Amino acid sequence: MTHVVAEPCHGCKYTDCVEACPVDCFHEGPTMLYIDAEECIDCQQCVAACPVEAIFHEDDLPAAWRGYVEINARLAAELPSITVRKEPLAGG
Global confidence as pTM: 0.93
The answer to whether residue 89 scores a pLDDT higher than 90 is no
Cα 59 versus chain centre, distance: 15
Per-residue confidence (pLDDT) for residue 92, from 0 to 100: 54
CA angle 80, 69, 48 (to 5 degrees): 75
pLDDT tens by residue, 9-37: 999 899 999 999 999 999 999 999 999 99
Per-residue confidence (pLDDT) for residue 10, from 0 to 100: 94
Give the pLDDT band (50/70/90) at residue 91.
Answer: low
DSSP letters, 66-91, are TTHHHHHHHHHHHSPB--S--PPPTT
pLDDT tens by residue, 39-83: 999 999 999 999 999 999 999 999 999 999 999 999 999 999 999
Helices (H), the chain: 16-20, 45-49, 68-78
Chosen CATH of 3-78 out of 3.30.70.20, 3.40.50.1970, 3.40.30.10, 2.60.120.10: 3.30.70.20
Burial 58-92 (b: 16+ CB within 10 A, else e): beebeeebeebbebbbebbeebeebeeeeebeeee
